[in-house]
Amino acid sequence: MRSRPFASADPFLKLILLFLLSFLSLGVFMLMAQGISMAVFGVGFFSDPELLRDYQKSYALPLNWLLLAFQHLGLFVVPALLFASLVHREPRRLLGFRRPRAQTLVFAALLILLSVPMVNALVWLNEGMQLPSWLYGLELAMQKLEEQARELTDLLTSGTSLWMLGVNILLVAALPALGEEMVFRGLVLPIFHRWTGSIHAAVWLSAALFSAMHMQFYGFLPRLVLGAVLGYLFVGSRNIWIPILAHFANNATALTLVFLMNSEMIDESIEHFEPSAPQVLFAALSTLSVIAAIVWYLRRMKPMLAILPPSEDPLEIQ
């Protein structure tokens, strides 16, 4: 059987290929979204991008839902599948799609819940960071991007109906978890592993790229750590479904908490970190517990991984 055209390419070329496919695919999907927007809502966001931020319009929410879905399909899901098809005869194995073990899925979901106090503390720490005075202009630009992201998040999560929560679970939790994990854990992490020869370097480099991709400086640190946790889950299991589920659990938990706060079922303070003694203690215990759980998990899974043939190990595929 003939090998794929980029099967023997070096890691840097594979990374460039993946970015190129993402860029081209995103362009195609944005054109498709533009066409649907013109046909359904009668507006074109290419000619007037501010239409997407005019949240008073009746079409604002469905239009941004449409754009969000096509962005994730075009930027992550489709390029990942195309790339895997170009570099390996069995794209499913390259991406790490194998039947997951039930106990590993449960462990991944519980680990994400365990990390919540740690992540909240990192959010508080990141939000308090300031750039040097000579980067003041850049800081203002990042603050503007952050405010725009916050306004969009408020629009997407402002509803109190279950059907709106269901749409958000699909478009803001499930689809990003699938696409981003396929790219950053399923493809980018193994490429960095092949490039650097170090699992830890691959985990943290892919996590840094994952966090930077969101273009939110004030959320960079918690996303970096979350990306590393997801990376170690993939390294330990060699199964992409594990970080996908963990990523989904993180997103869905956040959406559910916002929904419950909007419905006045829980207090908004539950999501915020304050540097008080009890919360600092909870954050410290959360951090230590997450580290201990990952170390235990990697040691426990190592003997099981040793029996996998190279053709079934995403981190060993050329």
Contact by Cβ (8 Å): 266, 257: yes
Cα 2 to Cα 35: distance, rounded to the nearest angstrom? 39
What confidence score (pLDDT) does residue 304 get? Answer: 57
Alpha-carbon span 179 to 76, nearest angstrom: 5
Task: Yes or no: say if 147 and 284 are a contact pair by the CB < 8 Å rule.
Answer: no
Burial class (CB in 10 A: 0-12, 13-18, 19+), 47: exposed
Q: What secondary structure, in 3-state letters, does 204-244 show?
A: HHHHHHHHHHCCCHHHHHHHHHHHHHHHHHHHHHCCCHHHH
Here the tokens at position 116 are 């919540």
Q: What local confidence, expressed as pLDDT, does residue 269 receive?
A: 65
Q: What is the pLDDT of residue 242?
A: 96
Pairwise CA distance, residues 174 & 251, whole Å: 8
What proportion of the chain, given as a percentage, has pLDDT over 70?
Answer: 92
Question: Could you count the other beta carbons within 10 Å of the beta carbon of residue 179?
Answer: 23
pLDDT of 1: 47
What residue ranges of the chain have pLDDT lower than 70? 1-3, 269-271, 303-313, 316-318
Structure tokens at 168: 């958000």
Please name which of 125, 109, 230, 118 lies closest in space to residue 181, comparing C-alpha atoms: 230
Q: Helix 102-114 and helix 116-127: axis angle, to 10°? A: 40
Q: Please answer whether residues 234 and 186 qualify as being in contact, where contact means their C-beta atoms are separated by less than 8 angstroms.
A: yes
C-alpha dist (Å) from residue 8 to 5, 87, 193, 273: 8, 8, 15, 48
**Phi, psi torsion values for 88, nearest 5 degrees:** -150, 145
Task: Report yes or no: 141 and 237 within 8 Å, Cβ to Cβ.
Answer: no
pTM > 0.85: yes or no:
yes
How far apart are alpha carbons 150 and 198 in whole angstroms? 36
Give the torsion sign (CA, 35, 38, 39, 41). positive
Mutual angle of helices 220-237 and 116-127, in 10-degree steps: 150
